[in-house]
Amino acid sequence: MPKQIFSNRLAARLAVILTLAIVPLGSVALYAEYFSYLTQKEANEAQIIRRTVDATTGQRALLTSAAQAGASIAPTVVSLVDDPGACSDLLENFINDANFYAFAGFIEANGTMRCVSEGEGVDFSEDLGFGIRPGGTQTTYAFQAQGRVTGMPVVLVNRPVYRGAEFVGTLTISIADNTLNMIATQPDASGDLKLVYLVNGEGKTLTSSDNPEASELLPSASELQALIAEREGVFTRASMTGVERVFSVVTLMPGQLYALGSWEPSKVSVLLSPPFGRLALPIAMWIASIGVLMLSVHYLVVRHLKHINVQLRRFALGNRDDFERLPDDAPTELREIDSTFSKMARLIRRDEDELEQALKEKTVLLKEVHHRVKNNLQLIASILNLQMRRLSDPEARTILKGVQARVRALASIHRALYEDTRVSNIDATAFLQSILRDTITLSGANRREVDIVTEFDPVSLPAEKIIPMAMLFAEALTNALKYASPTPDTTTPTIAASIHADSGAVEMIVRNDMSAEQAAERDTGLGRELMTAFALQIGAELESGPAEGPDGPVWEIRLRIADRGLNAPPTEQSE
């Protein structure tokens, strides 16, 4: 529900419309920024790769020269392999002339190395390590932390040697690790390039580092092999300590030699990460446009509509003060609407005043009618009283006395109607309580001789139903007072009167204690006919007859007024 209410607001709908309107321009701007980012990213990656290559230029040149030198002297070494002394002299002169190499030797196919530039021969038949793999065709590179002959960290350049199609052996040239580090371009300690390594085709590093942070700057062995498999590019991977870093991989010799650069992420990521700042510019423009639109709509329209709505709400809640008009700077259309509402409110106030005055006049006239009817009925009751004094026949006096009681009851009803402040729906509870008091007073019954028990719920009824119901109630009370008698278990008879509201229906009950003999008798008096007529008049259901009360037999009269009256004929006994 809150989402639906928000979508129905004017500002929200205008924001959606404006968003749809600027989507094409925003898409073009976003695409342009993204294309610019891709172009800049490619340029930045090319710069990173170039700097990685520049950092290994000297080392690569030395390794390449060693491979080429090995290829040039390999035929001579093969021709002298059967003469270890001459072969060793050749390699010794080669090392002395080059001045960059630490050692050279020829490992024969059987694993023995008799031709060496210095020292004694070495048997590698049980240990063909250090990157030496017989049968290959390409020059390979390997790092040896302690050379078998030199005893120091060296990088081995291994050249397979063939005589025709026959594998003869491997010419290995050792370059001291210190020599490679000496000719390497040292990264600036404060720069973003922290470390550059040479890596062979198997993903193993060829140079060592005395940097104590090397584990934080290098990837793990598995990550390094994965980077080599991707050949060349700039990647973000975890280092050995699990910290994300940026690594650059450059192919120096396909399948043989690679350069690995480790970069400071906080500096390089700015060059490689998406330009959220530039991409956010179209979004910021959209937000600014929406904000300007909503402020404009609020200032020009919404605040005036809220003002009109407040005035209409006050008017709907009963406040009939004059409307507060919109200011002169409000749009003409809204001022015209405000003027129309003001005129409508004045017309409604005038009609309400006229209706209220007419209602007051009708109320006064109706109360005057009830007052006059009450006075006339009291006059009739007085005339009947004078007539009874002139009669000597007891039966005639009894009949007139009953008529007088009913006239007085009717007068009491009109007096209650006259005193009630409402003329449409009347409080039946207070009304029937007044009828009860008047009926007991007119009957001359003593409250000490009869116990009166009442239970009235708050009920309101229209005037066209309350008068017949009150006449029926008065007749039932008169009947109850006449026939009430104590039960064998009580000394004082009880009359119970109640009225309840249940599910849109009103039920009225009048009970009086009586003996079993009286409850068994039936009567067809005038009271039964009157109560039947009153019930039919209001479309109610009337039931009367003997019942069993808490203290013994009772006579019960039950009237039920529902939404749809039940015109069933009653079967009760009355006076």
Indicate whether 571 pLDDT > 80: no
Global confidence as pTM:
0.46
> Is the pLDDT confidence value at 30 over 80?
no
Q: Three-state DSSP class for 542? A: strand
Looking at residue 31, its pLDDT comes to: 75
CA nearest neighbour of 179 among 287, 63, 270: 63
Report d(CA 157, CA 213) in Å as an integer: 28
Q: What's the Cα-to-Cα distance from 527 to each of 76, 544, 567, rounded to whole Å?
A: 151, 12, 18
Give strand ranges (E) for 201-334: 233-238, 244-253, 257-263
Looking at residue 47, its pLDDT comes to: 82
Residue type, 48: I
User: What is the sign of the dihedral through the CA atoms of 212, 216, 218 and 219?
Assistant: positive
Average pLDDT over residues 477-500: 82
- Give residue-wise pLDDT tens across range 517-559: 665 554 547 778 888 888 888 888 888 888 887 777 888 899 8
What is the distance between the alpha carbons of residues 438 and 441, in angstroms, rounded to a whole number? 5
Instruction: Please tell me the distance from the alpha carbon of residue 105 to that of residue 88, in angstroms, as a whole number.
Output: 8
Write out pLDDT tens, residues 139-162: 888 888 788 788 888 888 888 888
The confidence score (pLDDT) of residue 564 equals 42
Retrieve residue 412's tokens.
């009491």
Beta-bridge partners for 552: 549
Looking at residues 229-251, what average pLDDT do you find? 81
What is the average per-residue pLDDT within 438-463?
Answer: 77
Q: What is the distance of C-alpha 375 from the center of its chain?
A: 71
**430/420: higher pLDDT:** 430
CB atoms within 10 A of CB 366: 14
- Please state, rounded to an integer, the average pLDDT across all residues of the chain: 78
**Alpha-carbon 192 to chain mean position:** 46
Q: What is the pLDDT of residue 573?
A: 37
**In 3D, which of 516, 565, 519 has the Cα closest to residue 539?**
565
Q: 499 or 438: whose pLDDT is higher? A: 499
pLDDT tens, position by position, 403-419: 877 787 788 777 777 77
pLDDT category, 447, cuts 50, 70, 90? low
Model confidence at 5, pLDDT cuts 50, 70, 90, reads: very low
| Average pLDDT of span 210-214 | 58
Tokens representing residue 285 in the block: 């423009």
- What pLDDT was estimated at residue 328? 82
Q: What pLDDT does residue 242 have? A: 79
The yes-or-no verdict on residue 7 having pLDDT over 70 is: no
- Which range among 199-208, 310-319, 438-447 has the greatest average pLDDT? 310-319
Pull the structure tokens for residue 7: 């979508």
**Can you tell me the distance from the alpha carbon of 526 to that of 546, in angstroms, rounded to the nearest whole number?**
19
